Amino acid sequence: MKQLSVLIITLLFFSCQKNEELQENILADYIELNNTLEQADLIACAGGKEDGLFGVASEPTSVFFYPIEGATDFRYFEAENIADSLDFSKYVAKDLSSEPIFNGYLWKFNNVPFAGERMGVVTYKTPGKFHTCTPIRQKTTIKPTEVNPNLGEILTNGTTPTFTWEDGLIKESVIYFQVISDEDDNLISGTYTFEKQFTFYDLENVVLNITDTTSLPVLAPNKDYTFTMMGVSEDNWVNLLIQKEFTTN
């Protein structure tokens, strides 16, 4: 019995010693420190240009992510070398400002200027789960996001408008994210399509839906709304951003 107690104490000692060597600011270690939680994914992408997508030159890159209900402890890790994209030991935590968008339905980290390209990973936790996103290749100075509302068209049809768009200068988008928001910036619907077309609220061509589906989203007649569309490449970079206001009839 005494020998068993000594063995247990020894195992606990080495287990604690191992954990003490792990560093929360290294992504591979941080994942290991949370290995008792169920591993899960999260939705994230990034876009940027020299003067910023939202006109803030000191924050040229925006890292967007969707925090599901119960998400806490948002963190951002970055690798400086593109060749290390799948080596999580090379991702280091970066202390960035962050803020809600669409009144908290989505969230974004505000990345500071850097030369060349970087890889980024977002993490958060929900009860019993640890979430990481697919690595995001950030190309702010290499392939800046094109902001061009003229590439989008809106056909108003009562309260079921149809939105169409064309690719911009960078024709590498493989999926398109659409948000319809109201005058108070509340997200009404959030959908992804492979096609360059979406009709509210027809889900026939929708491949991913982040809309709150506890009730059917509707648009009111004779009200102002905003259509936002992001064309996203396979490496999670936003090639095109379109924002247009419209009024239902």
CB 178 within 8 A of CB 191: yes
Q: Tell me the per-residue pLDDT of 200-235, one tens digit each, with 9 for 90 and over.
A: 999 999 999 999 988 999 999 999 999 999 999 999
> What integer is the mean pLDDT of 32-36?
98
- Identify whether 201 is preceded by a cis peptide bond (ω within 30 of 0): yes
pLDDT of residue 213: 86
Q: What is the DSSP string of 127-162?
A: TTEEEEPPPEEE-TTTSPPEE-GGGEEEE--TT--E
Nearest Cα to Cα of residue 78 among 106, 21, 104, 116 = 116
Evaluate if residue 187 carries a pLDDT over 90: yes
SS3 of 123, please? strand
The answer to whether 2-138 and 146-247 have equal CATH topology is yes
The Cα–Cα gap between 31 and 132 comes to 9
146-247 is classed CATH 2.60.40.10: yes
Q: Tell me the per-residue pLDDT of 120-162, one tens digit each, with 9 for 90 and over.
A: 999 999 999 999 999 999 999 999 999 999 999 999 999 999 9
Write down the domain spans for the chain: 2-138, 146-247
CATH topology assigned to domain 2-138: Immunoglobulin-like (2.60.40)
The Cα–Cα gap between 115 and 142 comes to 9
For the chain, give the number of residues: 249
Q: Tell me the per-residue pLDDT of 230-240, one tens digit each, with 9 for 90 and over.
A: 999 999 999 99
CA 62 to chain CA mean position, Å: 9
> What integer is the mean pLDDT of 156-181?
98
Residue 87 pLDDT class (50, 70, 90 cuts): very high
Query: Which residues are registered as beta bridge partners of 146?
Result: 240
CB neighbour burial string for 118-152, b if at least 16 within 10 angstroms, e if fewer? bbbbbbbbbeebbbbbebbbbbbbebbbbbeeebb
Q: Amino acid identity of 96?
A: L
> What integer is the mean pLDDT of 89-97?
98
pLDDT of residue 18: 54
How much is the pTM?
Answer: 0.91
Report the share of the chain in percent with pLDDT over 90: 91
The Cα–Cα gap between 172 and 239 comes to 7
Evaluate if residue 4 carries a pLDDT over 60: no
* Beta pairing class for 173-182 and 106-111: unpaired
Report the share of the chain in percent with pLDDT over 70: 92
Q: Tell me the per-residue pLDDT of 53-72, one tens digit each, with 9 for 90 and over.
A: 999 999 999 999 999 999 99
